[in-house]
């Protein structure tokens, strides 16, 4: 079983690679559960998780993600050994193509890879992820950058407030277009390039709501109705 996707199967990764031509990006997609995405209950995003968006709607993709998650839970040592082997091979591939290796290992999970020594083992590569765990912000190795994921869930506001005290970009999923500002921060179009987003400073990384009809109609607090549209409608 191969862990990493090295073919740019994720639409956002394809966009990022296109905009930053010097990088090739490998990603890891697991099926999120309470252990590998511990804030999903607190952020109230479990029911309408974007895991079903994009390629996630396909049965074979879901099965592959679940199998990898079960591998992680059953034998972390073997999982990490295989992951490092695939990452080393990807680095070699990138070098042969005169590209820089980049990894997104939490495509829809929230594992603290720094605790397992993964970014430390690959100092010549760049890693990035989104997280809902504010305590991870600004505490990762220099080659591993994080963005924080917003939710309006009441039980999650301590995390949000902690993130707002940092210079880390905060991503928010908007329905009805993107406002010019949110949470007293400028909103930028986050659907163009994750690598640009990472170094954009104290901004809101606006992401367009994606997914099927049930997602579009969802009342989940991780989806923000464009406050400028709501103001006009009031």
Residue 165: CB atoms within 10 Å: 9
Task: With a cut of 80, say whether residue 110 has pLDDT above it.
Answer: yes
Lowest mean pLDDT among 50-54, 137-141, 155-159: 50-54
Reading the block at residue 128, the tokens are: 């990035």
- Mean per-residue pLDDT, 42-68: 68
Question: CA-CA distances (angstroms) from residue 1 to 67, 71, 82, 83, 86?
Answer: 9, 10, 10, 11, 11
Q: For residues 68 and 11, is the Cβ–Cβ distance under 8 A?
A: no
The phi and psi torsions of 77 (rounded to 5 degrees) equal: -60, -45
Q: For residues 185 and 13, is the Cβ–Cβ distance under 8 A?
A: no
Q: For residues 87 and 26, is the Cβ–Cβ distance under 8 A?
A: yes
pLDDT, residue 228, reads: 74
Reading the block at residue 107, the tokens are: 């495509």
- Mean per-residue pLDDT, 215-225: 85
Partners of 127 in the β-ladder = 103, 144
**Closest by Cα among 210, 211, 206 to 191:** 206
pTM of the model: 0.88
Count how many residues are written for the chain.
234
**Closest by Cα among 36, 31, 45, 37 to 155:** 45
Taking the C-alpha atoms of residue 78 and residue 85, their distance in angstroms, rounded to an integer, is 11
- Mean per-residue pLDDT, 25-54: 77
Give tens-digit pLDDT for 58-100. Answer: 557 789 999 999 999 999 999 999 999 999 999 999 999 999 9
Q: Roughly how many angstroms between the first and final C-alpha of the chain, as a whole number?
A: 53
Residue 134: CB atoms within 10 Å: 21
Where do the domains of the chain lie?
A: 11-233
Higher-pLDDT residue of 234, 156: 156
Give tens-digit pLDDT for 137-147. Answer: 989 999 999 99
pLDDT, residue 234, reads: 43
Mean pLDDT of the chain: 88
Taking the C-alpha atoms of residue 234 and residue 231, their distance in angstroms, rounded to an integer, is 5
pLDDT, residue 233, reads: 46
Task: With a cut of 90, say whether residue 227 has pLDDT above it.
Answer: no
Reading the block at residue 104, the tokens are: 């997104």
Alpha helices in the chain (DSSP H): 11-19, 59-74, 76-96, 118-121, 157-164, 194-198, 213-216, 227-233
pLDDT, residue 70, reads: 97
The 8-class DSSP code of residue 226 comes to: -
């Amino acid at each position: 079983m191969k862990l990493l996707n090295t073919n740019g199967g994720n639409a956002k990764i394809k966009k990022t690679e296109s905009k930053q031509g010097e990088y090739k990006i490998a990603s890891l997609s697991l099926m999120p559960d309470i252990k590998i995405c511990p804030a999903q209950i607190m952020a109230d995003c479990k029911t309408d998780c974007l895991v079903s968006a994009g390629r996630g709607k396909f049965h074979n993709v879901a099965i592959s993600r679940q199998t990898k998650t079960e591998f992680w839970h059953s034998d972390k040592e073997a999982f990490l050994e295989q992951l490092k082997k695939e990452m080393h091979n990807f680095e070699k591939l990138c070098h042969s193509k005169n590209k820089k290796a980049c990894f997104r290992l939490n495509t829809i999970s929230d594992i603290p890879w720094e605790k397992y020594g993964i970014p430390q083992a690959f100092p010549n590569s760049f890693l990035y992820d989104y997280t809902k765990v504010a305590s991870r912000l600004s505490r990762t190795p220099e080659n591993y950058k994080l963005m924080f994921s917003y939710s309006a869930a009441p039980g999650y506001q301590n995390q949000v407030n902690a993130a707002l005290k940092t210079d880390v970009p905060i991503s928010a999923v908007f329905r009805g277009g993107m406002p010019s500002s949110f949470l007293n921060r400028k909103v930028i179009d986050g659907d163009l390039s994750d690598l640009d987003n990472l170094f954009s400073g104290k901004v809101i990384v606006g992401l367009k709501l994606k997914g099927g009809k049930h997602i579009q109609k969802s009342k989940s607090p991780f989806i923000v109705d464009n406050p400028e549209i709501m103001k006009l409608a009031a």
